[in-house]
Structure 1
């Protein structure tokens, strides 16, 4: 005791040192991952635009080809194709517009374009006319080949 007060010493066991070091490492790991995500050179995190029929009409009038995915929330293949379409938008975004429309929310549009299953991609030319319906899951390279066949991308 010093002057009637007891000095409180911090715990000095190896266990506390190890816990402190572990917390610092976890913090540094999260910080590194966060910084790496934010500083991707030239890359942007692209999400597909979920459109309404009015939005689609505007897109079709922009003079660019459009790739429209019809999807439903419960469809696992729709979720699986989304990263492929996001990549398509990143790589070919200057040549085409890539968007998606919920077939359950807009059933009239799904009937209008004769969608019988999801995922389904509708390919529109630069004048807004539908060229083809591609049904089912496709990988990025397969989608690009189809778009090249229709001369929608180069």
Structure 2
């Protein structure tokens, strides 16, 4: 995942990474929000999910201490980061303005 991750976030389009865990309640609340964001923005963004329990080194690399943690990358650069659940409208605004 680690080498593939670098290729994914270096893409031309923005990439929103959702660091999550299966046991996390708020992470489950975020699933439909991310689905709506993808539905609205379509091909303008790529959204990927990273299970922190299965990808500990990646979570450590980005100092993910709580889940869910969202990180937005543009051309490989981290442009925004926040932990917790966001509403669809707020997330779309952040993606468009970052």
**Deviation for aligned residue 1:53:** 2.5
The correspondence for 1:92, drawn from 10, 35, 41, is 41
**What is aligned with 2:56?**
107
Residue 149 (str. 1) matches residue 87 (str. 2): no
1:6-51 superposed Cα distances (whole Å, 9 cap, x missing partner): xxxxxxxxxxxxxxxxxxxxxxxxxxxxxxxxxxxxxxxxxxxxxx
SS across alignment from 1:137: coil
**What is aligned with 1:67?**
16
Structure 2, unaligned runs of 5 or more: none
RCO comparison, higher one (Cα < 8 Å, 6+):
2
Q: Larger C-alpha radius of gyration, 1 or 2?
A: 1
**Deviation for aligned residue 1:88:** 1.1
TM-score by length of 1: 0.60
**Deviation for aligned residue 1:112:** 0.7
TM-score by length of 2: 0.91
1:67-108 superposed Cα distances (whole Å, 9 cap, x missing partner): 000000100100100111111112112211011100111111
